[in-house]
Structure 1
Amino acid sequence: MKKNMKTFIKIAVLAAAIGWGNDSFAQKKDTLKLDPDSKIKKAAKAVGNKTAETAVKGTSKVTDKTYKDKVGPGGQTIYIDKHAKYYYVNKKGGKVYVTAAQLKNKP
């Protein structure tokens, strides 16, 4: 019985400590509001998109096969995933799936 009581007291103390310490993690309102220049926003978005595109293309080259004889509708490199579906990577780093009819011969 003593062991159960000791365990109960430990749990109660732990719960109380978490409850009291929880206030320190509360979100505080930011008094300084920054409104970055539109050029900075545009540049940051472009860097993020290029990073995503490069990352997805790198993973695609490693994990999926590259279709050597065909290109996408805009001349993009075509990859074939493990389900035999064709796709290319767009400027924002997204995979755009295409049908075999949409593919063009490589020049």
Structure 2
Amino acid sequence: MSQVGVNLLLQRWVHHNSRVIVPTFEYQGVTAEQFEEADLIEDWCDDLASTPQEIATETAAAHEWLRGNSSEAGKSWQQLLENPQSRGTVRLAMRRHVKELLGSR
């Protein structure tokens, strides 16, 4: 489901339960980091999983990398995704790491 679709679903769900209408951009602000992480994991699997059976293994490997130490002391790559300004850095670092993995195969 797209980000817009999820935002609309959340808006409708909250409205149904509370009769409050929250603008969809408010949901975007709180779900963007999770969508970015999902996109990164999908890119990782697209590049490294050559069979459907490898998707689970590569998903776990992507999660492991994201939870590992980043270039910023004391923070994981996953924690850097919380800051919109750092998301490009995480994406670039992941692309480099995937290239290294592909080169070692």
TM-score exceeds 0.5:
no
- Structure with greater proportional helix content: 2
Select the structure of larger CA radius of gyration.
1
Q: TM-score, normalised by structure 2?
A: 0.29
Q: TM-score, normalised by structure 1?
A: 0.29
- Structure with greater proportional strand content: 1
